[in-house]
Amino acid sequence: MNKFDVIVVGAGTAGCMAARTAAKAGLSVCLIDYKRADSIGDKVCGDAIGKHHFDNLGLAYPKGDELERTIMGIEVYSPDMETVFKLSGEGLYGFIVDRRLFGQRLLKEAMDAGAMLLDSTQVIEPIIEDGFVRGVVARDRKTNGKKKILGSVTIDASGCSAVIRRRLPPEMGIETTIDKRDEVICYREIRILKNELEEPEYCKIYLNVNIAPGGYYWIFPKRGSKVNVGLGVAALANFPNPKDQLYKFVLSGEIFKNSIFIHGGGGIVPTRRPLDSFVSNGVVVIGDAACNVNPIHGGGIGPSMMAGKISGEVIPDVLETGEPTVEKLWLINIRYMKTYGAKQAGLDVFRLFLQSLSNEDINYGMKYKIIREDDVLKAGIEGDVRLNITDATRRLFMGLGRVSFLRKLYKMAKKSRALKKIYEEYPLSPKNMPEWKLKIKSIWEN
Ligand SMILES: Cc1cc2nc3c(=O)[nH]c(=O)nc-3n(C[C@H](O)[C@H](O)[C@H](O)COP(=O)(O)OP(=O)(O)OC[C@H]3O[C@@H](n4cnc5c(N)ncnc54)[C@H](O)[C@@H]3O)c2cc1C
């Protein structure tokens, strides 16, 4: 039986970054994935990553076959297609990657740093003793044999399946279940179009609550005339099948006529505020398993890598001091909430508001620029929801009989700022969690 400093469950973007950082700091790391080594990174995704994430993480930009296209920004279309917000600028430059090759690069960096990979291995459950996670039980998919792997700290980076998080006892203080309504169910295809898209340096996002309720559909340009086209719907009651919606409303369009199908597949995105806490005795949860995703656009690659890096930096110091207790690992919570979690929480209020709007609301809101393009950009980058309601718009909306919409918007922006502030004042120790949770609860209950 092996014993490692760190076991990382899942070699996705979160897990590889955690493994790479911890191994670079000199820890023994066992990185486990269900997939075969050469399939790691091959995930149904939009394949878009902001350039700023690479800058913040000190990661080289994608190049060669890994880079499918450089992106200048995003175009957001209103449901009636009459208004297009064209968002570009520093925070929106980015890349469309070959997802498998990008994942393979992250995996190689983790292994080059010294992490040991156990591929084709399914983690089944955590080993819990004396209130600490001490490792995992796993099944070798080639031999079907079960084994125990021990580690001082176990990181759950298993994506939406959250194989460790779901099996933690409640007294460990980590949320084990996620409300289905906070998830977006997606289906996407890779296709080659007859002709290249117009303005292929812009990712295109389309809002329409009849076609993609609680989500959106997208066309992201890849190399040449290849595109990533997909649709996501919130998992609310009676949600429609995203694949049916994509075929009926999107792929039936003129630009997809005679296009060539390359690949299709589905996936789930947790689009909510982060877990209240990612850590407990001997365990850390990161990436999709910890809801480290931007609630508005569902981008989770950047934040998941950030959570991986933070964990990989904190754990070596913790292990130097003995047992990895919740108190010592708490710094991971503090650092994540400061860098990204507070913004995510503020945006979650905005997400719930957006999911409550009708197509008409969105058409009016975009047409009369209640939130301006640069404010959308700021909301996306900093998490601050700013409104642009002048006397003229107020009079206009009164004339249209839609004052209640403005009122709702005001309330949302206020709540979003309030929640962000509470996350910015995240407790410095687990002792103060009950008090902090009460503050959050009061905002949600309002
Ligand atoms: C359709 C779709 C489109 C998206 N588009 C974008 C986008 O354009 N940009 C963006 O930034 N984000 C996007 N996202 C979100 C993004 O893909 C995720 O947030 C990100 O990949 C999270 O990384 P992760 O490492 O937490 O999880 P994952 O990348 O899912 O990795 C988890 C790993 O754990 C392994 N695993 C799972 N269970 C076990 C187990 N029991 N034992 C062993 N291994 C296990 C899996 O094989 C996998 O390799 C999209 C998501 C979807 C579904």
pLDDT tens column, 86-141: 988 888 899 999 999 999 999 999 999 999 999 999 999 999 999 999 999 999 99
pTM of structure:
0.96
Hey, whose CA ends up nearest to atom 52 of ligand 1? 45
CA of 442 to the centre of ligand 1 (A): 32
Question: Could you give the CA distance from residue 306 to residue 303 in angstroms, rounded to a whole number?
Answer: 5
Average pLDDT on 201-229 reads 97
Pairing of strands 183-192, 260-270: antiparallel
Residue 213 near residue 357 (C-beta atoms within 8 A): no
Q: Which domain, by its residues, includes 410?
A: 348-445
In a shared domain, residues 332 and 375: no
Q: Which of 225, 253, 270 is the last residue of a domain?
A: 270
Residue 305 included in any domain: yes
Q: Which of 287, 312, 339 is the last residue of a domain?
A: 339
| pLDDT for 427 beyond 80 | yes
Closest ligand 1 atom, residue 308 Cα:
25
When divided into structural domains, the chain yields a total of 3
Q: What pLDDT digit, counting tens, does each position of 366-401 carry?
A: 898 887 777 776 676 666 777 777 777 777 777 777
Question: Could you give the CA distance from residue 290 to residue 281 in angstroms, rounded to a whole number?
Answer: 16
Q: Terminal CA-to-CA distance of the chain, rounded, Å?
A: 52
Q: Which two tokens stand for residue 29?
A: 């790391």
Ligand 1: which of 161, 186, 278 to mutate, judged by most atoms within 8 Å of the beta carbon? 161
In a shared domain, residues 38 and 113: yes
Residue 268 near residue 160 (C-beta atoms within 8 A): yes
Instruction: Give pLDDT, residue 257.
Output: 97
In a shared domain, residues 211 and 264: yes
Ligand 1 pocket residues where CB is under 6 Å = 9-15, 32-35, 40, 43-49, 122-123, 157-159, 161, 163, 186, 188, 230, 267-269, 287-289, 293, 298-302, 304
Average pLDDT on 14-25 reads 98
Residue 430 included in any domain: yes
